[in-house]
Amino acid sequence: MLDQVLSVFDISPDTDLNLMRPEQTLNGLASRAIEALDALYSREKPDLVLVQGDTTTVFCAALAAFHHRVPVGHVEAGLRTGDLSSPWPEEANRILTSRLATLHFAPTEMNRRNLLREAIASDRIFVTGNTVIDALLMALQKVKEHPPDMPGISARTVERWYSGASLVLITGHRRENFGRGLEAICQAIAELANRFPETDFVYPVHLNPNVRRPVHGILGRGKHRNIHLIEPLPYLAFVAMMHHATIILTDSGGVQEEAPSLAKPVLVMRDRTERPEAVSAGNAMVVGTDSDRIVEEASKLMTDSIAYKAMARAHNPYGDGRASGRILEVCGRFLSG
Active-site option among 32, 54, 174, 176: 54
Task: Write down all domains in the chain, each with its CATH number in brackets.
Answer: 2-129+322-335 (3.40.50.2000), 133-311 (3.40.50.2000)
Active-site option among 32, 74, 112, 173: 173
Q: Which of 111, 99, 147, 106 is nearest to 126 (CA)?
A: 106
Where would I find the H helices in 80-221? 90-100, 109-117, 131-145, 155-162, 180-195, 209-219
Task: Give yes or no: 257 in active site.
Answer: no
Per-residue pLDDT for the chain (337 aa), expressed as one digit of tens each?
Answer: 778 889 889 999 999 999 999 889 999 999 999 999 999 999 999 999 999 999 999 999 999 999 999 999 999 999 999 999 888 999 999 999 999 999 999 999 999 999 999 999 999 999 999 999 999 999 999 999 999 999 999 999 999 998 889 999 999 887 777 889 999 999 999 999 999 999 999 999 998 888 999 999 999 978 899 999 999 999 999 999 999 999 999 998 889 999 988 999 999 999 889 999 989 889 999 999 999 999 999 999 999 999 999 999 767 789 899 999 999 999 999 999 8
Task: Give yes or no: 90 in active site.
Answer: yes
Task: Give yes or no: 109 in active site.
Answer: no
Q: Enter the pTM of the model.
A: 0.85
Task: Give yes or no: 271 in active site.
Answer: no
Task: Give yes or no: 274 in active site.
Answer: no
| 247 DSSP β-pair partners | 168
The amino acid at residue 25 is T
Task: Give yes or no: 76 in active site.
Answer: yes
Rounded Cα distance between 286 and 257, Å, is 14
